[in-house]
Structure 1
Amino acid sequence: MIWQGRLDGEELLHHRIFQRVRQETDYDAVSKGDFVLHGFTVDEGVKRNKGREGAKEAPDIIRKNMSNFPVILPDFSLLDFGNISCEGGNLEQAQADLAKKVSKVLLKGARSLVLGGGHEVMYGHYLGVKTAFPEQKVGIINIDAHFDNRMPEQGIGASSGTGFWQVAQEGDIHSLHIGIQRNSNTLKLFDTAHQFGMKYILADELFFENLPSVYQRINDLCESVDVVYLTICMDVFNASIAPGVSASAYNGIFTDAAFMHFYRHILKQEKLVALDVAEVNPLYDIQDRTARLAASLVNEWLMV
């Protein structure tokens, strides 16, 4: 059993997430304001991108690490619709399956939460948001060391590193990438970002004194779009706090006061309708550090 934790009592004041989550299969059970969770047990895109495989094992481990968090809001509701897998290496079908289910959730007025899996989850989740809101501008905030705007390789196809290239092929892209590392992106990828109009904040710019600028750029993105989707690639974080990822970052960022301030600022945006975490790789994790961090970041949204 995945959802289990410390039982302090059945009264509402004692409740933890495992006591309030409902495992569901019927999308008619979704109500406005619910958090609706899907696991994306897929790392075919990581494999295609020549990364370290294993992220497909993450969703249930993140669930386990979410279970014991206390419930803060009295009307909190979390529905878990299980996992979406990748049959026969067909990444495109897995992304389409995710998109279809996410769109159902959002059309009900609920909020979509997805646990990856590789960062190929981003394109599937984005498609779900776009399917639900076809006439609206979708803004993407990507907390990541990488732009993920590579052109798909011939004979290989889409991967965990091509999502924003794919989005840009469909029209104007409205994105803000936070935590970009100079030593993790070639000049070609920076050039592609500029050509596509992808806005970004370097990891070096994420310090406390610079928070007013970071806030302003987040606000600019949110004000320019109709709905917002937040995706977090766990390889943005320093390897000491996130060792279990597909591509370790020894100079990655930390979840310090500056990070938590701007992160919570994003979560408070009324236009935010979807969030995912990606690239937790349990095969390389130490004491579930990365999974625990991912669970904690998710839990921040559940408390807003």
Structure 2
Amino acid sequence: MDKLNMTYQLPEKKFWTGRKSNPALENQYWYQEIELLAINEADNKQIDIALIGYACDEGVKRNLGRIGASESPNVIRERLAKLPIHFEAKKIVDVGTIVCINEDLETCQLSFAKAIKKLISNGIFPIAVGGGHDIAYGHFKGIYESVKYEQKKNIAIINFDAHFDLRPVETKPNSGTPFNQILNEFKNVSYFPIGIQQQSNTKELFNIAKSKNVDFVINYDCETNSENINAIKKRLQPIIDKNDYLYITIDMDGFSSAYAPGVSAPSPLGFTPNFIFKILHYLFETKKVISCDIAELNPSLDIDNTTANLAAKLVDFIVMEQTKNSLSSD
């Protein structure tokens, strides 16, 4: 990629292996279906969805968290490779990984933003995996740069997370500051976190959310019964109506530690996979989702690949939803 060679890693076939199947049948597994492509080769190709990695621990390190999330892109690839496919008529590629070097988080985020802009500008739906939640700043910047000259350019961020990640930048940005940075730097952005845990956020962060008119869903309301799901849909609807695009970001520490032990800050008070699948389905039905990412998987803290398998199944679910509900061109 132009000017990104120092931080760009090509996709590697060794992460895409799996069970053999009858060669007389069509492709049965992810590793058989996905294509590997350098991001510079994505121009003028008929590609629908691209998986891109963000290998960075620096934001978590600066936020005094436990490092290891930089290893997650390739671990997710390995788990995803073995899943059976149930989507059709979509070309999906792995375009490699943006890698943080020399503790230079800021350059990594800018490089990642350029990659996201390139994909979206080529009509490709990005699914980004890995690293700390500082991925969100670079990801949003890439989305913004790709649509800022369009008539429709209002973007809402839907964040599934235990944390607001609204910390002010005191010296350098980190994994706890991305949405504060976004709200300060970009105009007309809607930010709606789902799964906020009181025990994981200080009073200051609740006050910052209030000062920035950030509405949110507390974790106790993230139940799968129809009453709670419908209540959340009702709160999401004005945001959906107001905005042209939805950027979905999923922090794995928003899940209960029963489902996601492999994160820097696990908690038993998080939501379930079934909950997030229900809300994701609703969001994709709007045909406004422009991009997604999954952050904060830490393979070094995982138990029997529980969290990695969940992250891979989230990617698979997002792909199936996207194939049914492509971004509206109206």
TM range (shorter): over 0.9
- Counterpart of 1:167 (choices 182, 193, 210) is 182
Shift of 1:76: 2.2
Matches of 1:215 and 1:27, distance apart in 2: 39
- Counterpart of 2:259 (choices 241, 261, 274) is 241
Q: Secondary structure at the match of 1:167?
A: helix
Q: Secondary structure at the match of 1:89?
A: coil
Shift of 1:147: 0.4
Which deviates more from structure 2 when the two are superposed, residues 247-256 or residues 127-136? 247-256
Q: 1:302 to 1:132 in 2, by over 3 A?
A: same
Q: Secondary structure at the match of 2:132?
A: coil
Q: Is the 8 A contact 1:84 1:97 kept in 2?
A: yes
Mind listing any 5+ residue stretches in structure 1 that lack a counterpart? Answer: none
Mind listing any 5+ residue stretches in structure 2 that lack a counterpart? Answer: 1-13, 322-330
Aligned twin of 1:180? 196
Q: Is the 8 A contact 2:258 2:268 kept in 1?
A: yes
Q: Report whether the alignment pairs 1:5 with 2:15.
A: no
Can you list the C-alpha shifts for 1:202-239, whole angstroms capped at 9, x where unaligned?
11111212111111222222221111110000001111
Shift of 1:29: 4.3
Q: Secondary structure at the match of 1:45?
A: helix
Query: What amino acid maps onto 2:205 in structure 1?
Result: L
Q: Is the 8 A contact 2:162 2:195 kept in 1?
A: yes
Matches of 1:14 and 1:33, distance apart in 2: 18
- Counterpart of 1:196 (choices 201, 212, 222) is 212
Q: Is the 8 A contact 2:47 2:92 kept in 1?
A: no
Aligned twin of 1:18? 31
Q: Is the 8 A contact 1:27 1:105 kept in 2?
A: no
Q: TM-score, normalised by structure 2?
A: 0.87
Q: Report whether the alignment pairs 1:121 with 2:120.
A: no
Matches of 2:45 and 2:190, distance apart in 1: 28
Matches of 2:84 and 2:26, distance apart in 1: 9
Query: What amino acid maps onto 1:16 in structure 2?
Result: Y
Matches of 1:302 and 1:242, distance apart in 2: 21
- Counterpart of 1:228 (choices 242, 246, 266) is 246
Q: Secondary structure at the match of 2:102?
A: helix
Q: 1:12 to 1:266 in 2, by over 3 A?
A: farther
Q: Is the 8 A contact 1:117 1:279 kept in 2?
A: yes
- Counterpart of 1:254 (choices 272, 293, 296) is 272
Q: Report whether the alignment pairs 1:270 with 2:287.
A: yes
Matches of 1:152 and 1:11, distance apart in 2: 57
| Number of equivalences | 301
Which deviates more from structure 2 when the two are superposed, residues 68-77 or residues 161-170? 68-77
Q: Is the 8 A contact 2:46 2:91 kept in 1?
A: no
Q: Secondary structure at the match of 2:240?
A: helix
Aligned twin of 2:160? 143
Q: Is the 8 A contact 1:31 1:109 kept in 2?
A: no
Aligned twin of 1:110? 124
Shift of 1:14: 4.2
Matches of 1:15 and 1:124, distance apart in 2: 34
